Chain A
């Protein structure tokens, strides 16, 4: 081990990668030692996957050096990286479901005699590969017959079968339940103790503290920190991921003032808890999605959902809108039971959902701006009562003016607009149905600063007109700036709510960073003074 400490297995130095228009990685360093589990963390777009893809030869790097096992390497393909000793198990398990476990493990390297497959050898080798990670199953059965967790293990066995020195696990736990995660961690620890280096990509804080000895945090393509997990307070880790530095955090006052800069002047000084909630969620949940939660929505109120990537924000929105079916719980709308079983029904009840995934869940790219704008409204009218063309133009024109959507014409395919204008057009699509409750999932992602401010302003004006808005964003300052009440999520669970004018980013982060009850973690609750006196 001592030798390993002096010469790390992997050193990436100053690695940069630019895609047209985006600097995905700028001079990133990453050091992983043999016999350690190293966590790689970061929010969406932080550059985690780009870094891994550069390391495994999927993308060529623009700049920088990679030293691996004492040599400089520049893998040009995943196969090259694999033969150098770098194996990867991706988030979507890439086993072929209809092939047997053995075939999957040995795919491409099947032992053969005279051109014929040697099945005995295949099964024996597969069994041995699985035994190495302590798994005994029938390798003749097809992969799909086993649980996701077992498939994950098989994928790891496959990755290790090629004499790997470094194993990259890309969000391996995101579809596993708690017990399965423990099993996986046992395997990881065993591999670590045998001297393997593991790069563990995840966004679950608890898991990082449980298993990783060091962590590298990326944000916006830059490395914002590399620390020993034992010496890294949770709050600081959360802050790093969200792009706040520690000094800013500790001087609570500064942050507080930053937090009070509201986007629109119209935010009332007093909150409005007296009004009756017209929409009440009780114990709504879905296995593998988000644990049962309660939520109240009032008219003229913006409620924020805050949490790290993968904390269950989007899953929550999808349950409310009926995109995914809930296993438990119910909603009450004006006191009447309402089971959100399809988007259609949710829309009929006055809900709207602007998805975070503009491309796959929002845009109908070949259709015109006009058609995209009226699609939800037309759908709610049914197929036969076609909005007269004149009315369509009038509605589209009105929203294009109101939201300042830049488009050459009403008939331009929406796919030709810029990201910000597409986003505004999708917002307009939902405004056109005049919903009571609007769910906005990352409404400002991937658009420029000017458009962001416009959208925030719009959201405030909608609130003033009595709309109820559920505002989801991974930009914490955005949530704090726009919302008077924030529901905080962690690890697919709503862990609490913050209300009132004294919401600030630090409080939200502390809530996210708190450990699960009863579980002792190396990180602990961070060393920030409890509720410092407020100057107000």
Chain B
């Protein structure tokens, strides 16, 4: 009974591997760097490496939430990095006009991001363009649009509310962590407390059958890309707030790949179907802890991608049923298998 309960919470066992990977990394840090787990409270705010991980990882976590839904429908969204740039650019341009209140600024930036996402969705679902091609178009186009918005310049700002977004605290923790928690909880509610999650998984698992069941598979697809755009928009505002500037050419670069890694490592298959938001968050944290660890251990940034790639390969291999059957025999008996009937 307890094992069943645990298995359920961990989304059928797939999430267990990134969780184990995360624990292993933390243990490694516990051994090699005592500073890693050091926390202190200053002015009622928590500081320390772990807090930094949450703060730094917030962007990839946000992207991963949106990316999870896209990947669950069998697609992929390569445009999120560029959408981040657009959202940041719109935010920075709007903040320069003092008369615009902060909520309107956020709304403006996020609308631009959602619009980009929906455009992806329309290309994929209605025009039948391959997701990788459609979003690649917007990946290239989006950065150009962001450059247009900022006029090719890096626009800096000092607006207190905007800067607070990535640098402020809430209940002693970075505000970014609270934003991630909010978006995550909202998404979890939206997908699991309505039938949206079921429709997404059904569409990704067998689109034809779902359509014949009356599921509006096209609408599902348009919406997940729109939502991915929304998540990228939030991440883009945080990224701009972080450096108090909109840097259209650099912000969010390669971050779409981190987000895809996080989702896949987290246990959602690129072929679509079943998804796990918790897994994706764990995957994003895993990537961030690894980055931070390497930074702490003094690994030069130039070779940092190598251990990152190695870790991702290990987790993916562990998730592969085939690989485990060959190399980890003992696990086999631990996994309850469903008997074939008839």
Contact between A364 and B193, CB atoms less than 8 A apart: no
Known: A375-B202, A381-B195. A418 touches B342 (CB 8 A): yes
Q: Which of B39-47, B178-186, B203-211 contacts its partner?
A: B203-211
List chain A residues, Cβ under 8 A from B206.
Answer: 360, 363-365
State the Cβ distance, A403 to closest chain B Cβ, in Å.
13
B77 at the A/B interface (Cβ < 8 Å)?
Answer: no
Contact between B205 and A412, CB atoms less than 8 A apart: no
Contact between A360 and B213, CB atoms less than 8 A apart: no
B215 at the A/B interface (Cβ < 8 Å)?
Answer: yes
Residue in A343, A348, A382, A412 whose CB lies within 8 Å of B213: A343
Contact between B205 and A364, CB atoms less than 8 A apart: yes
A256 at the A/B interface (Cβ < 8 Å)?
Answer: no
Alpha-carbon distance between A448 and B342 when the two chains are bound, in angstroms: 9
Contact between A429 and B194, CB atoms less than 8 A apart: no
* Interface contacts beyond A407-B341, A418-B340, A420-B342: sample of 4 additional A-B pairs, CB < 8 Å, sorted by A: A384-B194, A386-B195, A417-B341, A418-B342
Contact between A371 and B198, CB atoms less than 8 A apart: yes
A144 at the A/B interface (Cβ < 8 Å)?
Answer: no
List chain A residues, Cβ under 8 A from B340.
Answer: 416, 418
A383 at the A/B interface (Cβ < 8 Å)?
Answer: yes
A437 at the A/B interface (Cβ < 8 Å)?
Answer: no
Residue in B205, B211, B338 whose CB lies within 8 Å of A343: B211
B201 at the A/B interface (Cβ < 8 Å)?
Answer: yes
Contact between A384 and B195, CB atoms less than 8 A apart: yes
Contact between A416 and B273, CB atoms less than 8 A apart: no
Total contacting residues, chain B, CB less than 8 A: 26
State the Cβ distance, A196 to closest chain B Cβ, in Å.
40
Map CB proximity to A onto B298-342 as digits: 1 under 8 Å, 0 otherwise: 000000000000000000000000000000000000000011111
Residues of B within 8 A of A (CB): 193-196, 198-199, 201-202, 205-206, 208-216, 273-274, 338-342
List chain B residues, Cβ under 8 A from A451.
Answer: 342
Residue in A347, A366, A384, A418 whose CB lies within 8 Å of B214: A347
* Chain A residues numbered 356-402 whose CB sits less than 8 Å from any CB in chain B: 360-367, 371, 375-376, 378-387
Alpha-carbon distance between A224 and B195 when the two chains are bound, in angstroms: 52
State the Cβ distance, B116 to closest chain A Cβ, in Å.
23
State the Cβ distance, A448 to closest chain B Cβ, in Å.
7
Identify which of B194, B214, B340 gathers the most chain A CB atoms within 10 Å of its CB: B214
Alpha-carbon distance between A406 and B341 when the two chains are bound, in angstroms: 7
Residues of A within 8 A of B (CB): 321, 323, 343-344, 347-348, 353, 355, 360-367, 371, 375-376, 378-387, 406-408, 412-413, 416-421, 429, 448, 451
Contact between A367 and B205, CB atoms less than 8 A apart: yes
List chain A residues, Cβ under 8 A from B341.
Answer: 406-408, 417-418, 421
Alpha-carbon distance between A408 and B337 when the two chains are bound, in angstroms: 11
Alpha-carbon distance between A417 and B339 when the two chains are bound, in angstroms: 9
Residue in A344, A378, A380, A419 whose CB lies within 8 Å of B342: A419
Alpha-carbon distance between A516 and B339 when the two chains are bound, in angstroms: 52
Known: A412-B338, A416-B340, A417-B341. A363 touches B196 (CB 8 A): no
Contact between B198 and A378, CB atoms less than 8 A apart: yes
Identify which of A353, A383, A384 gathers the most chain B CB atoms within 10 Å of its CB: A383
Residue in A375, A416, A448 whose CB lies within 8 Å of B215: A375
Find the B residue at minimum CB distance from A417. B341
State the Cβ distance, B340 to closest chain A Cβ, in Å.
7
Residue in A353, A371, A384 whose CB lies within 8 Å of B212: A353
State the Cβ distance, A476 to closest chain B Cβ, in Å.
26
State the Cβ distance, B342 to closest chain A Cβ, in Å.
3
State the Cβ distance, B319 to closest chain A Cβ, in Å.
15
Contact between A360 and B198, CB atoms less than 8 A apart: no
Alpha-carbon distance between A429 and B198 when the two chains are bound, in angstroms: 15
State the Cβ distance, A356 to closest chain B Cβ, in Å.
12
State the Cβ distance, A410 to closest chain B Cβ, in Å.
12
18 contacts between A and B (CB under 8 A): A343-B212, A343-B214, A344-B216, A360-B209, A361-B208, A361-B212, A366-B201, A366-B274, A371-B201, A378-B199, A379-B216, A383-B196, A386-B195, A413-B338, A417-B342, A418-B340, A418-B341, A420-B342
